[in-house]
Structure 1
Amino acid sequence: MHCPRRPAMPNTLAQRLHVDYPIFLAPMAGEAAKAPLVAAVSNAGGLGVLGAGYMSPDRLLATIAEIRSLTSRPFGVNLFVMAPGERSSAGVDTMRQALARYHAELGIAPPTLPASLEENYEAQMEAVLSAGVAAFSFTFGVPSAQHIDALKAGGVCVMGTATTVDEAIELERHGVDAVVAQGAEAGGHRGTFLTDDFQGAMIGTMALVPQVADAVRLPVVAAGGIADRRGVRAALALGASAVSVGTAFLSTIESGVSDAYKLTLTGPASRHTGVTRVFSGRPARGVRNRFMDEMRAFEVSAPAYPVANALTRDMRAAASRQGRPEFLSLWAGQSAPLSRNCSVAQLMEELREGLSQSDLPLTREAR
């Protein structure tokens, strides 16, 4: 059934970003990081965000140019904040031996550790600064004061990921413009950065968002478990100024993920997600599959990110080509069972139905 398009509601963060609706595409790196999806969300009145953590500076700039060819609306870029330096080789040989049988099953060469484990974060940041995007968000840490100052001087809205109140306060101290409160329900990598105990930072969105809204004097973007009008309405009622939606967009027509990925999200397997380190070396939530279950012994001993991520890269790429979801990192949140096959415009229409005057964020001043 067609729903009439609602007029945009007053919202300071949306106004700052010059978007019609406070509905953001969650940044999803890797297979999902494609220009058509980002542009489609922006064209529908939200804020498309490119998850560029795995992109080289040249590819990042080329993708930004492609997005601009598809939309004249604002969009953002997200990066992983990675400290430079030597990467530990602990656990590499053992994990390579464990991966060998999966490579053999997929008919690809035995696993090797590539010479280059990750993209150069400083070069990625220079590319973002030169591109002049509307928004920049980040996860895994905090950019340098010089980078934050340069972004803000260029008129970029800077948003950082927090999984705890302490992290939100730390982000405010570093001068960000908004805090993305990532609840435990969220798909993909956990953004925890103040502690190595990610389990202690697994706070549900419903509990986290109002605490963060009370703790900082910044707009809060709710992330995790939001996939339809009900989630949007709940997040705004809890004090969020905007919502960040990821998993629900993965099964849309414009999404660039594989058919095997989309079929998993819209099937019964999506009811079973878990947080794992075995694909990348950092805790991330995805649909449980054979690889996660059989590699459970490596949850503690897997090499740290980005080493494990580099080790499993060839396996994941081959699995995507061959339509083998049992070997894919099927990042998805706990709202995955709400996924449906539709266009971005149709999903945005559904999400917009959660916006109403009574659901605007309840700020301190309004209490």
Structure 2
Amino acid sequence: MTARRRAQEFCEAYGLSMPILQAPMAGACPPGAAAAVADAGGMGAAGVVLDVPERISRWAAEFRSMSAGPFQLNIWIPDPVVDDPAGISAAEEFLGGFGTPSPEQPPAPSFEEQCEAMLAARPRVVSSIMGLFSPDYVERLRAAGIAWFACATTLAEASAAEAAGADAIVAQGLEAGGHRGVFEAETAECTAVGLFALLPHIVDGVDVPVVATGGIADGRAVAAALTLGASAVQVGTALLRSPETGIADAWAASLDGLEPEDTVATRAYSGRLGRAAPTPYVRSWEAPDAPSPALYPHQRALLARWRKGTLDPGAEVPLDRVNHWAGQAAARAVAEPAADVVTRMWSEARTHLPDVV
């Protein structure tokens, strides 16, 4: 099957006019940005791992007030909670150099309640990262006419997702900004594979459509991914500087001109490995006398307390008020409307693909 035909079939299945999906980035996918991508012919998205059920419902309602296009909702599969008293203590002491934390924060939203809220929101797609949904939930999604897209970083993960009933695999290369979607947190560093090595490996190993993600920021990369067997692509960092996204000015500035080799794989924000800009805060955790970040989700909870506390204005290194996630194609992100970004990417991609369908 030709690349164009494969993309066309995917678009027909999901109500798209271009095979481009917005990456579901928690905290960086407001309804307006997702609606802009959807109205341009792609698929909008939201990452809801930090959202209570009411916020998930509200996001979906706001999106639908702006667009009739398709969208996906994405959530993390919870890691087993591991006690980490020594790691927490060391991280607390290190974070003490940035200021005074707030009191304990409310507990994280219930995963089960979030899943119910996603089901009630009736998106076109519910997607997972860091693992697999239960068989019961997969059946409920299918009964509701909702597709399940599962993020995978290895063929073994992709095969497990296909066997569990995933309708598509999102193949995530190491170039991707934000968290790596590995099923086992401790393997993140040793299973880092570039997208264009990973993609054909997964395409050849599964029978469901594959969506490519990681370092895709222009039409050439879209065409390359489709040529290597993807049915669509998912883009995140390329959209971060779009005005509809509305990320913090400091985060947007950190992406400007950021070289691929200067991005950093770090656990400093959450305890899970993710790719970010090399801010002074992130670099401070690499110092010889710095501890390792606490395990997930403890590091994320600690950082939330410090951000909501009182920062030390005289601290040698400032604390990042938000996570400065950045993929290796960050320098290609432009401060242009999201619709213009994805439309240009698809227009450029078509010039590199054979006309035959």
- TM-score, structure 2 length as denominator? 0.89
Q: CA separation of 1:35/1:87 partners in 2, compared to 1, >3 Å: closer, same or farther?
A: farther
Which of 21, 24, 42 matches 2:18? 21
The equivalent of 1:50 in structure 2 is 46
Q: Which amino acid aligns with 2:298?
A: V
More contact order relative to length (CA 8 Å, sep ≥ 6): 2
Aligned to 1:304: 295
1:228-258 Cα distance to aligned partner (Å, 9 max, x none): 1111011111110000000010000111211
> What's the counterpart of residue 345 of structure 2?
351
Distance 1:79 1:10, change over 3 A: closer
Deviation at residue 88 of structure 1 after TM alignment: 4.0
Checking the alignment, whether the CA contact within 8 Å between 2:101 and 2:306 is kept in structure 1 is no
Q: How far apart in 1 are the matches of 2:213 and 2:26?
A: 16
Q: What SS does the aligned partner of 1:302 have?
A: coil
Residue type matched to 2:139 in 1?
A: D
Alpha-carbon separation, structure 1, partners of 2:123 and 2:208: 21
- Tell me whether 1:339 sits opposite 2:333 in the alignment: yes
Q: Secondary structure at 1:185's aligned position in 2?
A: coil
The residue number in structure 1 matching 2:222 is 232
Relative distance call for 1:128 and 1:115 in structure 2 (3 A) is closer
| Counterpart position of 1:164 | 154
Give unmatched runs, 5+ long, in structure 1: 1-6, 104-108
Matched pairs, number: 347
Residue number in structure 2 paired with 1:110:
101
Matched, 1:249 2:246: no
Distance 2:38 2:209 in 1: 20
Is this contact kept in 2: 1:19–1:45, CA < 8 A? yes
2:71/2:123 contact within 8 Å kept: yes
CA contact (8 A) 2:268 2:293 kept: yes
Contact 1:319–1:325 (CA under 8 A) maintained in structure 2: no
Against the structure 1 CA distance between its residues 134 and 301, is the aligned structure 2 distance closer, same or farther, given a 3 Å change threshold? same
Hey, what's the Cα distance between the residues in 1 that align with 2:207 and 2:151? Answer: 15
Equivalent of 1:260, from 243, 250, 253?
250
Q: CA RMSD for the aligned pairs?
A: 2.7
Aligned with 1:196: secondary structure?
helix
Q: How does 1:107-256 map to 2 (within 5 A)?
A: 109-110=100-101, 112-116=103-107, 118-194=108-184, 196-256=186-246
* Counterpart residue number, 1:91: 87
Distance 1:84 1:64, change over 3 A: farther
Cα displacement string for residues 251-286 of structure 1 (whole angstroms, at most 9, x for unaligned residues) = 001112111211221244776211111110000000
CA distance in 2, matches of 1:291, 1:325: 6
Deviations 1:186-220 (A, max 9, x none): 00001000572212210000100000000000100
**1:90 Cα deviation (Å)?**
3.9
Among 277, 280, 284, the alignment partner of 1:287 is 277
Q: Distance in 2 between matches of 1:316 and 1:206?
A: 37
Q: 1:326 to 1:133 in 2, by over 3 A?
A: closer
Comparing 206-215 with 32-41, greater Cα deviation is found at 32-41
TM-score, normalised by the number of residues in structure 1: 0.87
User: CA 1:150 to 1:15, structure 2 compared with 1: closer, same or farther past 3 Å?
Assistant: same
1:97–1:113: structure 2 CA closer, same or farther, 3 Å change rule?
Answer: farther
Q: 1:8 to 1:218 in 2, by over 3 A?
A: closer
Distance of aligned partners of 1:167 and 1:256 in 2 relative to their CA distance in 1, 3 Å threshold: same
Q: Distance in 2 between matches of 1:277 and 1:195?
A: 10
Q: How far apart, in 2, do the equivalents of 1:78 and 1:319 lie?
A: 32
Identity score, percent: 35
Residues 29, 134 of structure 1: CA spacing in aligned structure 2 closer, same or farther, 3 A cutoff?
same
